[in-house]
């Protein structure tokens, strides 16, 4: 039996500041899907591997779990609105965005300067999430002043 509640657990995790990413993929007919995620992490440099996890309750979970490729867009501090749009299940997420197509027709958001295109290597079911591990097969590597998520709030690095 746990000695803490689920909201205490969530609050504890909120102390861990993260960046914010949008993960995109495409459904079979080519339509894009996308989700705001802060579960993104690097795994390995050689080979270049990354991971993120998708909530089983996401309406897009099936697409991500079955996709062959996903793209990770690392957001910069002035892209908070993009983060909000892609975490809103009612939003028309790609409306008004310029989309390029990457490997295997992967939808890429043009205004993002750091984008990793990944081929799924493994999917693990753990608790109420699936963990997707991907090998980075191509990337657009700029550098950003990152958007930060901390204690349930968007913020930025202070200099």
Ligand X SMILES: Cc1cc2nc3c(=O)[nH]c(=O)nc-3n(C[C@H](O)[C@H](O)[C@H](O)COP(=O)(O)O)c2cc1C
Would you tell me which residues interact with ligand X (CB under 6 A)?
20, 35-39, 52-55, 58-60, 87, 89, 149
Cβ–Cβ under 8 Å, residues 139 and 108: no
Give the residue with the Cβ less far from ligand X, 21 or 115: 21
CB 114 to ligand X: min, Å: 17
Minimum CB separation from ligand X for residue 3, in Å?
A: 26
What is the nearest approach in angstroms of ligand X to the Cβ of residue 46? 25
Q: Among residues 3 and 7, whose Cβ is nearest to ligand X?
A: 7
């Amino acid at each position: 039996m746990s000695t803490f509640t689920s909201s205490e657990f969530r609050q504890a995790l909120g102390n861990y500041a993260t960046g914010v990413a949008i993960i995109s993929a495409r459904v079979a007919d080519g339509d894009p899907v996308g989700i705001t995620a802060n579960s993104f992490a690097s795994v390995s440099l050689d080979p270049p591997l990354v991971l993120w996890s998708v909530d089983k309750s996401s309406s897009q979970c099936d697409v991500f779990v079955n996709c062959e490729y996903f793209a990770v867009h690392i957001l910069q501090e002035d892209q908070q609105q993009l983060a909000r749009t892609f975490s809103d299940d009612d939003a028309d997420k790609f409306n008004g965005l310029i989309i390029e197509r990457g490997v295997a027709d992967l939808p890429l958001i043009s205004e993002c300067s750091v984008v990793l295109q990944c081929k799924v290597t493994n999917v693990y079911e753990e608790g109420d999430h699936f963990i997707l591990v991907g090998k980075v097969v191509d990337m657009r590597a700029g550098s950003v002043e990152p958007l930060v998520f901390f204690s349930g709030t968007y913020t930025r690095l202070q200099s």
